Structure 1
């Protein structure tokens, strides 16, 4: 009985050792083939660099456009105050009524903030901005009304307009003004840019797939005799195609890094011009660079393109090679 138990234990231990050995050898073989494919790129620098350059430059344009759209969205997102509703108060309203309406609006859950601009404050601001200066002192009375500036909690055009119509019904409100047309135009331009980025990106990514696929096809053709010998000695298609897939992987890695570097150079070049425009408009806007998540997404996309392009070419052309 003890002999049978010890035999089972030694068998289980041997199976465990074999499993660990196969597991380790699996990664060792993959690492060996990955390094072999990297060496193949090093031995053919001309065609390899050309493919990497095409892949990287093809990704540069949609990546740069994406970053520019992101910065435009940042600018438009900073225009939330453009959805402010100006409530012009009737001349017959008393200061107590104005303050009472302000208190009521501050308690409204649809409103983020309320600011009161008195007649005197509005006149002082108008004197400074209009250039009339002392000429306005000859007015017998202040023609400007009290104004309550309301910032909606939800600055979407539909919600802001609904709130505007609601506030216009207040008894002491003469009329309400909401100017969102230019902001809607800006949103339309941003949407157009986003769609353009998607369209251009799809076209360029399709071109990258074709270029990588053609490069791998030429590599397969140049190694036709070697592949035939490997099939004669019993190598499987999966084993033969693995170095080509790693070649596509390296194309993606280096092409993605090149796209990142070129994009950063373009942003650095544009940053000076944008800073000059921001200074003219007394704005602190600065161009945002690529985030860590966007960098990871760029590299992942480039690797996927390289591997998929390689896989499509390998699956098509490797089956056509059979030992004669």
Structure 2
């Protein structure tokens, strides 16, 4: 009342809530800093557990990126009808060059097809016995890179419906096998990340449990004077926050170091295959997501453990 009469207002609820949480946040950090070795080892174990799925994610992402770059070797072969003249076939190839989803086109006439078949097949003398050229004219269409399987399939169906086309064929069986392997690898990374995430929660939960036992008498006193469970639980939750935060940063650093160590040999291996692909590590967004995942796991592990342990502690 005196505050109101003096022209002063009480602190707002949000301000009080923020001040209290900031106080506990830095209090828990100071408590961890008083035992740096134990806290550092805990954060290191959490970082290693988080770095394993993050490293696998980087590997799968790079393999997927290389797989998409190999799409440039995909070709759709459009076998034209025998009634289509060469001039019309060349014009159609030029028209398709500007179509959506098409990178380049190459027109191969019936005569060119026969010459190539004669050189590659070894049946030159047998082909001389033929009165007519049985091979059709072909338009080789290279789809634009970075297209999904569905987009390439839609392009194939669209080209096969052209009136001049007798048959459209896309040889992408090897690409489908690669994508199937990558799909399995991505699912495996998800499973490993889930299991190691649970392991992180167990590690943090065990650390918090020891901290709760060390402060058992203090908790009993707080409960005896009527402190709510949220108040008692808050310092331990922020301890879990700091463990998860530190573990996430360590995991990001480990993945970055591993990527840097593998970058040169990976580039040398790619050069042997005539490729200029480079190993790409975690992006800033992925790195921040990794740190956020560590914070969430740390908070969740601390919450589950401290809620159960505090419920079991009763003032004597």
TM-score, structure 2 as length reference: 0.81
| Aligned pair partner of 2:304 in 312, 317, 321 | 312
| Aligned pair partner of 1:225 in 193, 217, 235 | 217
Task: Give, in angstroms, the shift of residue 51 of structure 1.
Answer: 1.8
| Structure 2 match to 1:66 | 57
| Structure 2 match to 1:116 | 106
Question: Is residue 48 of structure 2 the alignment partner of residue 57 of structure 1?
Answer: yes
Asked if structure 1 preserves the Cα contact closer than 8 Å seen for 2:96 and 2:102, the reply is no
Q: Return the alpha-carbon distance in structure 2 between the equivalents of residues 80 and 170 of structure 1.
A: 26
| Structure 2 match to 1:211 | 203
Asked if structure 1 preserves the Cα contact closer than 8 Å seen for 2:81 and 2:164, the reply is no
| Structure 1 match to 2:140 | 149
Task: Give, in angstroms, the shift of residue 165 of structure 1.
Answer: 4.3
Secondary structure of 1:318's counterpart equals helix
- Decide which moves more: 244-253 or 41-50: 41-50
Q: Return the alpha-carbon distance in structure 2 between the equivalents of residues 158 and 105 of structure 1.
A: 16
Q: Return the alpha-carbon distance in structure 2 between the equivalents of residues 240 and 198 of structure 1.
A: 35
Q: Which runs of 5+ in 2 are unaligned?
A: none
Alpha-carbon displacement from aligned partner over 1:30-51 (angstroms, at most 9, x marks no partner):
2222222112212223432222
Question: Is residue 253 of structure 2 the alignment partner of residue 258 of structure 1?
Answer: no
| Structure 2 match to 1:287 | 279
Secondary structure of 2:275's counterpart equals coil
Task: Give, in angstroms, the shift of residue 150 of structure 1.
Answer: 1.6
Q: Which runs of 5+ in 1 are unaligned?
A: 1-6, 131-135
Residues 1:232 and 1:93: Cα distance change in structure 2 (over 3 Å): closer
| Structure 1 match to 2:157 | 162
Task: Give, in angstroms, the shift of residue 12 of structure 1.
Answer: 11
Asked if structure 1 preserves the Cα contact closer than 8 Å seen for 2:93 and 2:107, the reply is no
Instruction: Report how many aligned residue pairs link the two structures.
Output: 300
Q: CA RMSD in A?
A: 3.5
Task: Give, in angstroms, the shift of residue 184 of structure 1.
Answer: 0.2
Q: Return the alpha-carbon distance in structure 2 between the equivalents of residues 114 and 33 of structure 1.
A: 63
Alpha-carbon displacement from aligned partner over 1:180-226 (angstroms, at most 9, x marks no partner):
00000010011011000011011100111111111111110111112
Q: Return the alpha-carbon distance in structure 2 between the equivalents of residues 284 and 239 of structure 1.
A: 57
| Structure 2 match to 1:196 | 188
Asked if structure 2 preserves the Cα contact closer than 8 Å seen for 1:87 and 1:147, the reply is yes
Asked if structure 2 preserves the Cα contact closer than 8 Å seen for 1:119 and 1:144, the reply is no
Asked if structure 1 preserves the Cα contact closer than 8 Å seen for 2:51 and 2:251, the reply is yes
Q: Return the alpha-carbon distance in structure 1 between the equivalents of residues 231 and 99 of structure 2.
A: 69
TM-score, structure 1 as length reference: 0.79
Asked if structure 1 preserves the Cα contact closer than 8 Å seen for 2:90 and 2:107, the reply is no
